[in-house]
Amino acid sequence: MNIFSKNKVNKAFYMGFKKNNFLEKFTNSQVFLPLIGFAGIIVLWWIIALFRSEMMPTPPEALAKNLDFILHPFYRRGPGDLGLGWLLLASLRRVCIGFLLGAIVAIPVGFLIGMNNTAWQILNPVIQVFKPVSPLVWLPIALAIFNSAEPSAIFVIFITSLWSTIINTAEGVKNVPAEYLEVAQVLEMPRWKQLVTVMLPASLPYIFTGLRISLGIAWLVIVAVEMLTGGIGIGFFVWDEWNRLNVSSVFLAVFVIGITGLILDYALAKLQTLVTHRPARG
């Protein structure tokens, strides 16, 4: 999250100008140190590319080959020939639908098992068994049910989004401080109102932790799902470009997927701060 700590970065720059030792401040800043990390990776890539020059492009070669993708993200040159922006939007659409459906199911289920011990004993073993299963295993089952790639991909994301959100919501509900509920009891607040005005807002930080983990995994999984199902999407793009031996495009995809994932997490963290009025953790 460092590169998004905008205030700190701005402050470092600002102080740099003010004290007129910009260079020194810059080398200590939160921009410079992450840059060293990325530079290291690129150097490593470059070295490997020099040894495996028949397949691997060097960073400048890859940049040159990807220039069209980078400069024209939203081109349409035929039914299957779309710019990266469109592919990204198609993948994001699947993730968003699956993730939202997952959240709609997972948050109430989390509340149920967090508040009711019988429900917990019924559902916890199911969750513990299903949670470690790679979500991709659900793909054949989904294809058997829906007989079509698009709903199957969304279904897999839906399953992916369930577990962390359920578990963290339940944890949040169990951890609502007793004092908050006692205040509500002393005020003679009806039970349903305690749920909405005290328990839900009190467990929101936990719910958001669950949502952020779920969305992170969903974004990992969609790429793999699209490699298997084909169609339009950033995952299939990776597989397709590899089949055409365009490793340069795969490198581009690595950065695009990574940055998109980071933005998704950042967006949820921002939403959390907005909704809970407290700074997001981690």
Partner 1 sequence: MTQQQFLTIENVVKSFKKPDGSDFVVLNGIHLSVGEKEYVSVIGHSGCGKSTLVRIVAGLEKPTSGMVTLEGKRITKPGADRMMVFQGYALLPWLTVRENIRLAVDEVFKKATVAEKISIVNKHIEMVKLTPAADKYPHELSGGMKQRVGVARALATRPKLLLLDEPFGALDALTRPKLQQQVIDIWENHRQAVMMITHDVDEAIFMSDKVVMMTNSPNATIGKVLDIPLPRPRHAHELRETTEYYHLRNEALDFLENYQ
Binding site residues, partner 1, CB under 8 A: 177, 179-180, 182-183, 185-189, 197-198, 201-202, 204, 276-278
By beta-carbon proximity to partner 1, the closer residue of 79 and 279 is: 279
By beta-carbon proximity to partner 1, the closer residue of 76 and 278 is: 278
Q: Minimal CA–CA distance to 220: which of 95, 86, 85, 133?
A: 95
Give least dist CB 208 to partner 1, A: 12
By beta-carbon proximity to partner 1, the closer residue of 33 and 187 is: 187
Burial of 126 from C-beta contacts in 10 A (0-12 / 13-18 / 19+): exposed
By beta-carbon proximity to partner 1, the closer residue of 53 and 197 is: 197
Give least dist CB 261 to partner 1, A: 28
Give least dist CB 153 to partner 1, A: 36
Give least dist CB 117 to partner 1, A: 19
Within 10 angstroms of residue 199's Cβ, the number of other Cβ atoms is 20
Within 10 angstroms of residue 26's Cβ, the number of other Cβ atoms is 14
By beta-carbon proximity to partner 1, the closer residue of 201 and 231 is: 201
CA R_g for the chain: 23
Give least dist CB 190 to partner 1, A: 10
Give least dist CB 265 to partner 1, A: 22
By beta-carbon proximity to partner 1, the closer residue of 33 and 183 is: 183
